[in-house]
């Protein structure tokens, strides 16, 4: 089930479709790979819309994706809570029929940022895509999938840390400055400021702060088994990810 790339407008879609299955579509700015194009396939997305680096895809990409993968039972847009993404997916939904949306907002670090009104949608988006994608393969209807996705999003929390800054190719320099012995707690996926900056901590101390923030935000919901997702965002060696997982 290798994906197919459509070049104008840019859309990554599944090669084959099953009639009667609700189509899942997501997208966002490039620079966060493998999200979202790397998760187009069986049990996950039917199509993904890649924007320019750290820039929302356009409504015509989303509209083309919906037209390409809708088999007659509708489409579900899974949208990260960034103002450009929300606005453009809203426009595409208004131009389409049989489209519903889920907006992910799992980041507990900050309530508002330079790219958002409300919480940012980050790693939890992948959890929503995986669980709702599996349900869609079993033939669940569009309203049921939307409700499921909203339940998963409401139960999902995340927080990030950064030791260095990313560099947008067009800018040619780091997005923010940070000292060799410093780290940023709660940094955003585009380099937005987090909740605080501190000296470099051990893996145990980092895990404790992240988990304390997440569990505190969940409150009474923090009971029973949990799905743990540790993401290095492409810049953390696998050995260090295993260390954080442990």
Report the b/e string of 200-213 with b at 16+ CB within 10 A.
eeeeeebbebbeeb
Taking the C-alpha atoms of residue 21 and residue 139, their distance in angstroms, rounded to an integer, is: 6
Mutual angle of helices 142-154 and 124-137, in 10-degree steps = 150
Within 70-166, residue ranges assigned H as helices are: 83-94, 124-137, 142-154
Look at residue 108 and give its three-state secondary structure. Answer: coil
Residue 107 DSSP one-character state: B
Burial category of 198 from C-beta neighbours within 10 Å (exposed 0-12, middle 13-18, buried 19 and up): middle
Any catalytic annotation for residue 190? yes
List the catalytic residue out of 32, 36, 42, 138: 32
Q: How many CB atoms lie under 10 A from the CB of residue 175?
A: 17
List the catalytic residue out of 36, 42, 138, 190: 190
| CA triple 129-136-105, angle to 5 deg | 30
Taking the C-alpha atoms of residue 13 and residue 67, their distance in angstroms, rounded to an integer, is: 11
Taking the C-alpha atoms of residue 152 and residue 154, their distance in angstroms, rounded to an integer, is: 5
CA proximity to 88, closest of 67, 57, 47, 64:
57
Cβ atoms of 69 and 44 closer than 8 Å = no
- Enumerate the active-site residues: 32, 190
């Amino acid at each position: 089930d290798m994906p197919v790339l459509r070049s104008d407008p840019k859309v990554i879609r599944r090669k084959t479709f099953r009639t009667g299955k609700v189509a899942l579509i997501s997208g966002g700015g490039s620079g966060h790979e493998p999200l979202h194009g790397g998760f187009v396939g069986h049990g996950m997305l039917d199509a993904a819309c890649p924007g320019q680096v750290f820039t929302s895809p356009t409504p015509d990409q989303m509209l083309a994706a919906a037209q390409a993968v809708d088999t007659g039972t509708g489409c579900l847009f899974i949208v990260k809570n960034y103002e450009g993404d929300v606005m453009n997916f809203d426009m595409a939904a208004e131009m389409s029929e049989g489209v519903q949306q889920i907006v992910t907002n799992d980041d507990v670090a900050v309530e508002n940022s330079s790219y958002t009104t409300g919480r940012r949608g980050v790693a939890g988006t992948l959890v929503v895509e995986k669980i709702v994608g599996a349900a869609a393969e079993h033939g669940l209807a569009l309203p049921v999938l939307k409700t499921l996705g909203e339940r998963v999003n409401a139960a999902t929390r995340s927080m990030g840390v950064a030791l260095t800054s990313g560099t947008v190719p067009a800018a040619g320099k780091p997005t923010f400055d940070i000292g060799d012995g410093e780290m940023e707690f709660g940094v955003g996926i585009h380099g937005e400021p987090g909740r605080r900056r501190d000296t470099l901590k051990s893996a145990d101390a980092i895990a404790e702060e992240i988990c304390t923030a997440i569990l505190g935000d969940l409150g009474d919901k923090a009971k029973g088994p949990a799905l743990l997702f540790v993401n290095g965002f492409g810049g953390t060696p696998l050995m260090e990810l295993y260390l954080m997982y442990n």
